[in-house]
Chains A and B, each alone.
Chain A
């Protein structure tokens, strides 16, 4: 069964303190790995898609990387507005199986 595990469940950082969030997955083949940001009571906001090991994507203070079994979301010099839950999801390989399998998320809090 396809599974996605995110760690840590929650992370508190001081403003400017860089860190990384982890997403490990077990899926037989991978069509894509997605990162989303979700604010309380709102829908997930798309951040990145990664397709192959070694791929990296950047957006402002965020950088996502992908290996064969896990992905990291690196946050550099975060600001309080980066506080949110970050969700990782994988898309299984079978044609027609367009569903995303989500992890439980990492709740990130940046203190000023």
Chain B
């Protein structure tokens, strides 16, 4: 069974640009979660999508947004990038409770 996939693996942007990160959940999983793991910090919850709706949001500014598509894949958008947005962005999917993580997208903001 294929796991959670994320693309791209690495992304380099400059301050002020927008970044789009993509995630495909495990087949049959309807919930998708996004987490940020900055260097030296733990995983911080960003967003939770289920059945196409945003269900919960962490303590992040509105420039972090996303959506979930009818096939349950998801996109995370980060607008007006700042240097401190540099981090590993992890996507997870679940059914029913346990979250399984993808390999992450490493975002570097210069």
Contact = CB atoms under 8 A, between A and B. Distances in A.
Given A41-B106, A42-B104, A87 B43 contact: yes
B88 A41 contact: yes
B102 A43 contact: yes
Question: Which of A44, A87, A89, A96: most chain B CB closer than 10 A?
Answer: A44
Given A41-B88, A43-B103, A98 B98 contact: no
| Interface size band for A | 20 to 34
| Interface size band for B | 20 to 34
B8 interface: no
A31 interface: yes
A102 interface: yes
Interface in A34-83: 34, 36, 41-46, 49
A31 to B, nearest CB: 7
B72 interface: no
B103 A100 contact: no
Contacts of A97: 56
Interface of B: 4, 31, 33, 35, 41-45, 48, 50, 55-56, 58, 88, 90, 92, 94, 97-104, 106
Interface of A: 31-32, 34, 36, 41-46, 49, 87, 89, 91, 96-105
